[in-house]
Structure 1
Amino acid sequence: MGAARGSVVGRRGRERGGVDGRQASRDAAPTSRRAARQAARAGRGGVATTLLSILLTLVLAVAAGAGGAALATHWFPLASADAAQPHSAQLLSAATQPQQALSAPVRTCSIRPETEAPAALDFHGLIVDAQTGEVLFEENPEGTHPTASVMKLVTSTSALVTLGPDYRIPTRVYPGNVPGSVVIVGGGDVTLKSSATSYYEGATASLAELAAAVEAAGGATSVGYDTSVFGGDPWHPTWEQKERTDGYISPITALMTDAGRTDPNNMYSPRTTSPAQDAAADFASAVGAPLDDAVFVEPGSEPIAEVWSQPVSELVEYVLVDSDNVVAEALARLVAIERGTGNTFEAVDAAADASLEELGLDASTFVGADGSGMSRDNRASASLIVSLVEAIHTDTDGLGFLIDFLPENSLTGTLKDRLGTVPAGAIKAKTGWIDQVFALAGTMTAEDGTELIFAIFVPVENPDGSQITGLGNRNALDAIAAATWSCGATLSNY
C-alpha cells in the first residue's frame, strides 16, 4: 500500500484590493478633460468667458492631481457622477481577484529513530490520514506477522457482521433420557454466572435462574450436561499453559461459568482445567440432584428452561476493552458455526476470511489460528488491520460504535497505564501482546489535530517460539506511537 491511496491538500486564499494615489489620479483625469471641453464651448461668447474657463480647468486639474475629486464634485456635479464609475469598477475587479493556493504542510517529521531502534525488532507498520486516506508512513505494510490480541478486531467485527449485534447466546435445560433427569446444554455463553456476582457486571444469565425454572417445572432426580455445540480440542496446542494459571484463558467449551475463573469476580483469576464439568456440578448442586455423566438429552424433546447472554453488541466490549480471550474464542466459534465452516479451532480461519471479504476487505494476508490472538500461528499485515480500522472509522455495516470500545491511553482498559506522555484519550487502540509480538492498532488525534489511523507491530524476526519479547519492546512500541502523535500531518516516511 503506498501513497496511491490519494491525498487532499488543503487550500487557503486571501483577497487583495484597494486603490492607491496613482489610481485616484487616473480616475480623476476624465473629469478634467470634460471640464475643458465644456469651457471651450462656452468660450465662444467672449474672452472673459474663455479666461474663466481656463482658470477653472487649471483648478480642477490641480485638484484631481492632488486627490481632490471632492472639489470637482462641488463645482461640477454631473462630471462627478461619471467619475465615480471607473472607481467602482476598479473596486469590483479587486474584490473578485482569484484566491491564491498555498502549499500543503511540508512533511519532514521522522519517526525512523524510533522504528529503527534495536528494541523495535522487525518493525512493521502503516499510518494514514483518517480524513484523506493518504499514507504518511509505511514499513513493510504487506508483510505478515503474529497478531496477538489485535486479532480481536477481526473477531469482534466478524461476530457483528455474521451473527448480528442483537444476537444472544442461549443456555438451555432439556429433559434427560432417564426419567426425572435433566440436561444442561451449553450454547457458548461463557459469561454465564455461577453465583449472584460476576466479573461480567452486565451478564444476564445465571445458573440460579435455570435451577429455579427446573424446580418450578417439577425438579430433577439427576443432571447431565452437553457441550457438543463446540467440537475439537478445548486448548490450542500453541497456547502456553502458564496463560491458564496467569488468568488469561481457559479451555474453550460451550458450557462454562465466569469464563472458567476460579474466582468469578477477579479479572485475572486462575482458570479451571475442567470448565464444563465444574459448571454442570454447580448447576446440579443448585437443583439439588447428583451429576450423572450417563444422562443425555431426550431425543426430540423441547427445552424446559433457558437463559440468554447479553447481545453481541455488548459482549464485544469485553473483548476489546479488557481483551477478554475466552469471550473472543466463544464468538469466533459461533461465527464459524453460523458460516458453516465447522465448530473447532480449524474452522475459525475460513469463517473470519468470509466475514472480512463481506466487508470488502482483502483477506489474503490473514491466517486465523484462533479467535483471541493468543496463538503465535495467527498472521495478518498492517495493511489489512488499517483497512479494518478504516471500516470501523467510517461506520461500515454499522461498526462505528466499536471505536468507543477501544482502550484509551491513560484512561481505560489495557491502555489505562500506558502512553502517559500523550494527552489522556488522544490514542484509542487495541493492544496486543504474546511472547512473539507487541501490537497496537486504532486511531489517534495527533498534537496538531490531525486524525490518524494506524497499525504498528514489534514482532520477533522468527516467531517459531525461539525468541521472546519483553517490556523493553513494549516501550519501543509506545515510543513509536508517541512520536507519531507529535508529528501528526507532518509525519514523513523518511
Structure 2
Amino acid sequence: MKKIIQIMLLFLLFFALPLQSFASIDGAVISNLGTSNVALTIRDADTGKMVYSHNGDKLMRPASNMKLISGAAALGILGEDYRFTTELYMDGTVQSHVLNGNVYIKGSGDPTLTKENFQAFANVLKQNGIKTINGNLIGDDTAFSGSTLPVGVDKADESYYFGARTSAITMSQNADFDASTVIIEAKPGKVGAKPTYSIEPNLSGLVISNQAKTVNKGQKNTLTIKRVYNSNKVIISGSLPQGSSAKEWVTLQNPSKNTMQAIKTTLQNAGIKFVNNSKIVLAPVSNEAKLLHTNKSRPLAAIFPAFMKLSNNSIADILVKALGQQELGEGSTLAGINVMKSYSQLLDVPVDKWRFADGSGLSDANRVTTNGLAQLLFNVQQQPYFNTYFISLPIAGNSERMVGGTLRKRLTEANLQNRIYAKTGYIPNVYTLSGYVKGNSGKQYIFSILLENKANGNTHIDRAMASIVKSL
C-alpha cells in the first residue's frame, strides 16, 4: 500500500509541472543540495497546489525560518497595531522638589525603548516638580516569567547579541532593536596605550576591564569585546591598530536591572538626584502608586522589518512571551510557543508532529517540515496582515540594508534581483530559505528549503534557487 501511495504521489507531482521543468528542479536539488539531508517543497502561490516535494514531510531544523511561524502568530494575535507600553509611576509625596517615595518603571517587553525615552521619563518627573528622589527606583518586570536566557544559547554565545536575554524591561540603542544589549566601540590611542571606548546608551551597570593595547597601523586587529559569562564584567582585550576601530553589541547580564541602571544614569544626567541609600529594586508596582506617563512603542507593523529582514532573535523571543501573556496570562516561552502552535493549527498547518522550542529558531530542538512551512506561507496570503508580513521579508539581491536584509548580498544576478522574498536561516550545520519567488514564466510560487550537514550551505541553496527560477 505504501508503495502504491508513493507512486501516486510521484504521478501527481509529474503532472503538476511540465515534465521538463520537474526534471530540471529535481536535477537542481540533487546536484546542489543532495538527497538525504535536504527537504524542499514548492507550491503554486495562487492555488496552494504542491508542484514539487522532496522529503517534504521529513522533520528538519528550521533555524530562523521559525520566525515565519512566530511572526504570523504575532501579527495574527497581537495585531499590526499592537504597541508595547512602558509606564512611569511614583508613590509618596513631593515637598520642596523632593519626592519622599519611590519611582517605578513597569515594562511589557518593549524592544524599541531607547535613551530618548529615558530622557522623556526625566522630563515628566521634572514636570511633576521632582528634583530629588528620596526613595528607590523600582522596576516591575512581572509581565514576563521564566528564564531570561533564550533556549539554545550556550555559555560561549551568551555575550553576543543573537543570544540576548529576554525581559519585560529592556532597551535598544538604534532602529535595529537588538534588545538587551549595549554598543561598545573602541578606538585606538597612541601606540602602546590602551584604546579609548564609548558605550551606548551608558555603562548600564556593567564594569569594563580594558586590557587592550594600540599597535601600529597595518598590524593585525585582534581586539575583542566580550562579557564574562554570568557577570556584569566586560573585558576589552587584544590589539587595535591605529586607523581602525572595533564595535560590539554586548548583551546585558540582567536586562531588567541593567536597563533600570541605564534609566537611573539618564535621570541623574538630566539633573535629578537620588539620595545616597537609594537602590534599584525589582518588584511589582505598589497599589498606592500614581501613573505619571505611558510610553507606547511604534506599532508592531513598523517593528516587523527589523524583526524579519535582520532576523532579530531578541524581538522573536519577546514576541513569544508577549503572545503567552496576552492569550494565556503567562509571559513565558512555553506559554508563547503553545500559542504559536495553536495559531498554526488555526491556519490549517499540520503541526502535530512538529517540535516548538522557541520563536527565533536559535534552538537546535525545533523541528518542522517544508510541506508545512509552504502551507503556512500559502495560507497567510489570505490574512489581513499579509502585506506587512510579505514586505518585511528580505528581498534577494537588493543592496539596501532595510530592504534586502539578510539577502542583500545573495542571489544578486540581474535575473534574480527583487524577485525572491524569503526568510533566511542559519545555525551550526543548518541552512534554510523559505518564501515567495517569481519564476521565469512570470508566475508566483511558494518554496521552502531546509538543508543540514552541508558545508557552505547558502551557496548550494542559492545555486539551486537560480536553477529552480529558470524552471518555473
TM-score range, shorter chain: 0.7 to 0.9
State the Cα distance separating 1:404 from its structure 2 match. Answer: 1.0
Q: Deviations over 1:301-338 (max 9, x none)?
A: 34222101111112222111111111111111111111
Q: 1:343-422 to 2 correspondence within 5 Å?
A: 343-392=331-380, 394-411=381-398, 412-421=404-413, 422=415
CA contact (8 A) 1:169 1:309 kept: yes
2:43 pairs with 1:128: yes
Give the secondary structure class of the aligned counterpart of 1:283. helix
Q: What displacement does 1:170 show?
A: 0.3
Pairing 1:229–2:229 present: no
Structure 2 unaligned spans of 5+: 1-5, 93-98, 173-178, 184-199, 202-245, 399-403
**Is residue 146–residue 436 contact of structure 1 (8 Å, CA) maintained in 2?**
no
Query: RMSD in angstroms over aligned alpha carbons?
Result: 2.9
Counterpart residue identity of residue 148, structure 2: P
Deviations 1:136-187 (A, max 9, x none): 2111111211111111111111111111111110001222589421111111
State the match for 1:423 in structure 2: 416
Specify which of 6, 25, 45 is matched with residue 111 of structure 1: 25
Secondary structure in structure 2 of the residue aligned to 1:299? coil
Contact 1:176–1:224 (Cα < 8 Å) also in 2: no
For the pair 1:188 / 2:109, whether they are aligned, the reply is: yes
1:333/1:343 contact within 8 Å kept: yes
Are 1:209 and 2:123 matched, yes or no? no
Matched, 1:255 2:247: no
Matched, 1:277 2:261: no
Structure 1 residue runs of 5 or longer lacking an equivalent are 11-103, 197-205, 461-468, 489-494
Q: SS at 2:421's partner residue? A: strand
What per-residue deviation string (whole Å, max 9, x for no partner) do you get for residues 97-134 of structure 1?
xxxxxxx6854542334433586560011012223433
2:291 counterpart letter in structure 1: P
- Asked if 1 retains the 8 angstrom alpha-carbon contact of 2:180 and 2:252, the reply is yes
**Could you say if the C-alpha distance between residues 108 and 174 of structure 1 is closer, same or farther in structure 2, counting changes exceeding 3 Å?**
closer
Counterpart in the other structure of 1:446:
439
Is the 1:173–1:305 contact (alpha carbons within 8 Å) kept by the matching residues of 2?
yes
Higher RCO, Cα 8 Å, sep 6+? 2
8 Å CA contact 1:440, 1:457 repeated in 2: yes
Question: 1:341, 1:362 → 2: CA distance?
Answer: 26
Aligned residue in 1 for 2:68:
153
Note the alpha carbon deviations across 1:58-112, whole angstroms, 9 max, x for none.
xxxxxxxxxxxxxxxxxxxxxxxxxxxxxxxxxxxxxxxxxxxxxx685454233
Bigger fraction of residues in helix: 1
Q: Deviations over 1:238-270 (max 9, x none)?
A: 213444444323111111110122115999723
Q: How many residues align?
A: 375
Taking every aligned residue pair, what percent have the same amino acid on both sides? 21
Quick one: which amino acid aligns to residue 208 of structure 1? Q
Partner of 2:452: 459
Deviation at 1:9, TM superposition (A): 8.8
CA distance in 1, matches of 2:326, 2:164: 23
- Rounded Cα–Cα distance in structure 2 between residues aligned with 1:171 and 1:214: 15
Inter-CA distance 218–309: structure 2 relative to 1 (3 Å threshold): same
DSSP 3-state at the match of 2:468: helix
CA distance in 1, matches of 2:71, 2:441: 31
Distance in 2 of aligned mates of 1:139 and 1:149: 21
Letter in 1 for 2:71: S
Higher normalized strand content (fraction of residues): 2
Q: CA separation in 1, counterparts of 2:159 and 2:467?
A: 36
- 1:450 to 1:153, Cα distance in 2 relative to 1, 3 A: same
Please say which structure displays the higher CA radius of gyration: 1
Paired amino acid for 1:270? V
> What's 1:17 paired with?
none
Matched, 1:173 2:88: yes
TM-score (norm 2): 0.73
- My pick for the range that moved more, 317-326 or 273-282, is 273-282
Alpha-carbon distance between aligned partners in 2 of 1:271 and 1:4, rounded to the nearest angstrom: 53
